[in-house]
Structure 1
Amino acid sequence: MAEFLASRGALVLEDGRIFRGEPFGAEVDAEGEAVFTTSMVGYQEIATDPSFYGQLVCLTYPLIGNYGVNAEDDQSRRPWVAGLIVREYCDEPSHWRATGTLAEYLRRHGIPALHSVDTRALTRHIRRHGAMRALLVSDRAGRSDEELIERARRAWTPGEHEVVSTVTTPEPQVIDGPGPHVVVLDCGLKEGIISSLKRRGARITVVPVTTPVSEILALAPDGVVTSPGPGDPAQAEAAMETVQGILGAGVPFLGICLGHQLLARAIGAETRRLKFGHRGGNHPVKDLQTGVVRITSQNHGYYVDAGSVPVAQGWRVSQVSLNDGTVEGLEHVSLPFFSIQYHPEGSPGPLDSQGVFDRFLDRVRAAGSRREAPVTTGTRIGGVQE
């Protein structure tokens, strides 16, 4: 216990709990939402996952930094975590691909981190009391606990703001390929999704989340993927309306994580906040049509309310979590629209769900190049015009 009391840094939670630790990375303060992830590998992929934007992430795996960092493992243009909290940090990595240390990497991007934290106790606390506002301080000198707790209670968190426009690509990107043309609406895109589509030959156009529906449809997509991303889906109203427009045009659609939640809201379903979120690479999901169970990678703090899904309008829950029964997939019974709550690209995490991309492209090819003009009259069926 003495080692924690003597530590220079601390993670201060809004409920008054303080976890001591030693700083590494940038020695600055950071505000955010305290969460944990159970992934055993992939700390660099976690840091560069835009879905972690504004979050102070506790890594439950105890040894971090042992294989260093390298440019190939980045999942986006920069790290998005507000800070990292780990039990044991290794500053002498041993791996043939390493080009530097995690501490150097975080310092370069101005992100603070703590090691020698009792991450087991922190994780148990978050599980018991829920994800919450927090303040990470690299040096407590000259500041009282009361002062730090008061700052933690006022900390900025991503769930209270529209944040997808912060992490989206600043301009469109085109990746050539021989296959169908897939437009990706970037709400917080990971390179693993692009790689998964490229391996299957797709021609890809990545567009910012702020792109109007008319411009997306003008690209003549054979299919549209809406990516994962950070924050509360209820705050991403403009992105939800974009999804509504894509569905109304009848373009084959795949929503991933936040894209799944935006689809749900676009068809009239509701989303709610999880107590402490699903974050890690070991979440079992059952396909209700086939009975197959897959281990999935997840990173989200909100879920779709199963009771609000408009079943009478042709929508159904297709997959569920075996941990807590929450919705893990939606699909329309006759139209080429479906979504998943987990990350099929598995960066980091298992690759059990790579078949999601095959299923999507099969639907795209089945739909062919035929595109109906957007319907402007008729009865609205769960976000789709008929």
Structure 2
Amino acid sequence: MKYQPRNKALVLLADGTIFYGKSIGIEGTATAEICFNTGMTGYQEIFTDPSYYGQIMVTTNAHIGNYGVNDREVESEGIKISGLVCRNFSFIHSRPDSNGSLKDWFVKHNLVAISDVDTRALVSYIRENGAMNAIISTDIENIDALKEQLARTPKMEGLELASKVSTTEPYFVGDENAPLKISALDIGIKKNILRNLAKRGAYIKVYPYNASFEEMQNFSPDGYFISNGPGDPEPLVDAQNLAREIIARDLPLFGICLGHQVIALANGISTYKMHNGHRGINHPVKNLVTGKGEITSQNHGFAINREETEAHGDVEITHVHLNDHTVAGIKMKSKNVFSVQYHPEASPGPNDAEYLFDQFIENIKKSKA
């Protein structure tokens, strides 16, 4: 491969701190909240996860791009991150069944990415000082202009982003002759969630983020699902009202990540912005019902209030994060409702959390009996 000179680039944080690196060859600027993911693999799934919409991703794994991209390994249509910061970017990929290089994929989607950044120092800084907005750019000579642009970037707290990634029209997934029917609310749904439900005998109709209970009920579903997604859960008033309607009728309901937070809010439990979110494929969770530990994939910057959950008379904590004891799962005592803060479809264990889909299907079958 012929050597090509690469322009300098930078990461400018909201507090004025700057980290320098090099452009991978795509000139431009991107602003968003900056976050990091500790996963050692699965970068393509991360980049296409709708939950990362509106975020600049810092990867802690030292090598990104070494196995290229594959059309089958996407969680949505197109890249959802706002930009990428990494240590070593591989322009050459070596996996036999890849469909091309990561660089070409980024060029196709016009994604600004910079490498040769001291990501260990950057991640340590974010961990110490908390999540904040940032700007990455190849225009390193105009720091003042970049600071002005960064100052205009809205903060994640209070930001509604589900409407930016949700489907605009309902669509179907699975076999229409399947024995079970599920109405799913798309507030940033991942494709592998739908695959996991479909392979368990469900025919799913996926609805836009602002769908009403009446719209979803017209499908005559056996159960309801509220998906993962980006942004602050508090502005999702329509989704919270939907969850309240489902809960009031004691219909089977399962929520993942943002859906978990929506269900908590529907029960009067507040959410809060975390100092640093949980993002990676190595997060330890304890199932308080079984006493077993699970290695989980997580991607969230908000969490539900533990004290309020413990004080709630009809909500039980079923899972806790072992690193910081945040709530990782709940269920309602008198209703057919449960949710988790992590991603069972991502299979980092690899099968530690797949039982949650089985549990949802069993809940639906029991309600039909």
Please give the range of the TM-score, normalised by the shorter of the 2 chains: over 0.9
What residue is the counterpart of 2:66 in the other structure?
66
TM-align CA RMSD: 1.7
Aligned-residue offset at 1:336: 1.0
What residue is the counterpart of 1:358 in the other structure?
358
Equivalence map 1:25-64=2 (5 Å)? 26-64=26-64
Equivalence map 1:41-120=2 (5 Å)? 41-120=41-120
- The code of the aligned residue for 1:155 comes to T
Question: Helix, strand or coil for the counterpart of 1:84?
Answer: strand
- The code of the aligned residue for 2:89 comes to Y
Q: Contact conserved, 1:10 with 1:18, CA < 8 A, in 2?
A: yes
Aligned-residue offset at 1:309: 2.1
What residue is the counterpart of 1:292 in the other structure?
292
What residue is the counterpart of 2:329 in the other structure?
329
- The code of the aligned residue for 2:171 comes to Q
Does 85-94 or 311-320 show the bigger shift? 311-320
What residue is the counterpart of 1:197 in the other structure?
197
Aligned-residue offset at 1:23: 1.2
Does 59-68 or 313-322 show the bigger shift? 313-322
Alpha-carbon distance in 2 for matches of 1:24, 1:131: 25
Equivalence map 1:1-386=2 (5 Å)? 8-24=8-24, 26-140=26-140, 142-143=141-142, 145-177=143-175, 178-309=178-309, 311-346=311-346, 350-368=350-368
Alpha-carbon distance in 2 for matches of 1:75, 1:42: 11
Alpha-carbon distance in 2 for matches of 1:209, 1:32: 22
- The code of the aligned residue for 2:43 comes to Y
Q: Contact conserved, 2:45 with 2:73, CA < 8 A, in 1?
A: yes
Aligned-residue offset at 1:71: 1.0
Question: Helix, strand or coil for the counterpart of 1:26?
Answer: coil
Q: Contact conserved, 2:271 with 2:305, CA < 8 A, in 1?
A: yes
Alpha-carbon distance in 1 for matches of 2:230, 2:8: 31
- The code of the aligned residue for 1:171 comes to E
Alpha-carbon distance in 2 for matches of 1:12, 1:221: 48
- The code of the aligned residue for 2:309 comes to V
- The code of the aligned residue for 1:241 comes to N
Question: Helix, strand or coil for the counterpart of 2:334?
Answer: coil
Q: Contact conserved, 1:297 with 1:350, CA < 8 A, in 2?
A: no
Q: Contact conserved, 2:277 with 2:299, CA < 8 A, in 1?
A: yes
Q: Contact conserved, 2:62 with 2:86, CA < 8 A, in 1?
A: yes
Does 80-89 or 212-221 show the bigger shift? 212-221
Aligned-residue offset at 1:311: 4.7
CA offsets 1:21-41 (integer angstroms, 9 cap, x no match): 111263221110010010111
Question: Helix, strand or coil for the counterpart of 2:234?
Answer: helix
Question: CA, structure 1 residues 188+348, in 2 after alignment: closer, same or farther (shift >3 Å)?
Answer: farther
Does 156-165 or 334-343 show the bigger shift? 156-165
Does 116-125 or 145-154 show the bigger shift? 145-154
Aligned-residue offset at 1:223: 0.7
Q: Contact conserved, 1:224 with 1:253, CA < 8 A, in 2?
A: yes
Alpha-carbon distance in 1 for matches of 2:348, 2:166: 20
Aligned-residue offset at 1:218: 1.6
- The code of the aligned residue for 1:174 comes to F
Calculate the TM-score normalised by the size of structure 2: 0.94
Does 342-351 or 245-254 show the bigger shift? 342-351
Alpha-carbon distance in 1 for matches of 2:25, 2:255: 35
Alpha-carbon distance in 1 for matches of 2:308, 2:77: 36
Alpha-carbon distance in 1 for matches of 2:310, 2:237: 19
CA offsets 1:166-205 (integer angstroms, 9 cap, x no match): 1001211112332311111101010110111122121111
- The code of the aligned residue for 1:168 comes to S
Does 318-327 or 153-162 show the bigger shift? 153-162
CA offsets 1:65-123 (integer angstroms, 9 cap, x no match): 00001210111011110001100011110111211111111121121111101100010
- The code of the aligned residue for 1:248 comes to A
Aligned-residue offset at 1:235: 1.8
Question: Helix, strand or coil for the counterpart of 1:72?
Answer: coil
Calculate the TM-score normalised by the size of structure 1: 0.90
Number of aligned residues: 362
Alpha-carbon distance in 1 for matches of 2:188, 2:310: 27
Question: CA, structure 1 residues 9+339, in 2 after alignment: closer, same or farther (shift >3 Å)?
Answer: same
Q: Contact conserved, 2:9 with 2:20, CA < 8 A, in 1?
A: yes
Does 49-58 or 244-253 show the bigger shift? 244-253
Question: CA, structure 1 residues 29+349, in 2 after alignment: closer, same or farther (shift >3 Å)?
Answer: farther
- The code of the aligned residue for 2:152 comes to R
Q: Contact conserved, 1:15 with 1:153, CA < 8 A, in 2?
A: no
What residue is the counterpart of 1:381 in the other structure?
none
Q: Contact conserved, 2:296 with 2:348, CA < 8 A, in 1?
A: no
Question: Helix, strand or coil for the counterpart of 2:363?
Answer: helix
Question: CA, structure 1 residues 122+260, in 2 after alignment: closer, same or farther (shift >3 Å)?
Answer: same
Unaligned stretches of 5+ residues in structure 2 = 1-5
